[in-house]
Amino acid sequence: MGFFYSQFLVTPQYPTQSFADQTALVTGANVGLGLEAARHITRLGAARVILAVRNVAAGKAAKEDIEKSTGRLGVCEVWEVDLASNASALAFSERVSQLPKLDVAILNAAIATEQFGIAEGYERTVTVNVINTLLLGLLILPTMKATRQKDPSRTPRLTFVVSEVHAWVNFTEWKEDQPLKFVSDRANAKMHERYPLSKLLQVLLVQELAGRVPGSQVVINMLNPGFCHSQLTRESGWKLTLMKAVLARSTEVGSRTLVAGASAGLESHGAYMTDGHVESTALSPFVRSDEGRQAREKLWAELSSILEGVRPGVMQNV
């Protein structure tokens, strides 16, 4: 009932809060929600907007489109990052570390596919949506913390785009010794529910991350944009295409929730937002249960081991 009520009867507010003098970063910014969120942030006065994209040519086209629609030239920059690649994430974060400040990071890039594939030793969706998204968040944290330290009037925000579909999957695999490795085995990969599982994993890990970083340093939140028109589902089947035709919000309306997360206050730290507001009770019963807490702790331990293997010492950024 909540899903249909939100889709049909709730329209997130049009963004008006200023981003003047801020540096913002949006992953997956060449299309869909990321593009429209970057457009809003540019329109609202940001001094520098980094379009973090896998496809540089598409990123340049997005930059031109944003500049044309907002009349703000020279604000957007196109930076390459491919979250299926550890090396790409590391190289991108090295560029971020050279920024004089970073006020906003919206980690939006994701894939939704039922096709099994391996990237960096894990099933591709797990690598892109979970492992390397969290890796990127951890790698840019020092720059965001330094932004706050240099100017206490600034409140950096690290926003993860999750989804209400996290509640649509039964995650019994958390009881395995290494859940991320287990679900990356082709024999155990239920690819028809892989995207919802990846978002559940992300919710749990973002909760744990936020619990370890004071909101007074960096506000870390996560948001559900609702079911929207985007290219996220381009690798999914006809059923989802049909659902989009009937139920989906416009891409621009959905992007308003990303901007809301990027401008939310301390009350959003560690919280789940939907329709642009904190709605922690909208988290699934599993996430809020004792089993969910146990799953979160086990996943964090496994993720920590994985990320330390990619970049030794990265967990000290928390």
Confirm if 259 and 195 have CB atoms less than 8 A apart.
no
Q: Distance between the two ends of the chain, CA-based, in angstroms?
A: 38
Q: Write down the catalytic residue from 63, 101, 199, 298.
A: 199
Q: Which DSSP state fits 14?
A: P
Give the integer Cα–Cα distance in Å for 189 and 185. 6
199 is catalytic: yes
Contacts of 9 (CB under 8 A, 6+ apart): none
Report d(CA 134, CA 315) in Å as an integer.
11
From the candidates 63, 101, 122, 195, give the one annotated as an active-site residue: 195
Q: How far apart are CA 49 and CA 63, in angstroms?
A: 10
Q: To which residue do tokens 């919206």 refer?
A: 106
What's the CA gap between 63 and 79, in Å, rounded?
11
Classify each residue of 167-201 as buried b or exposed e, where b means 16 or more C-beta atoms within 10 Å of its C-beta. Answer: bebebebbeeeebbbbbbeeeebeeebbbbbbbbb
Instruction: Write out the catalytic residue numbers.
Output: 195, 199
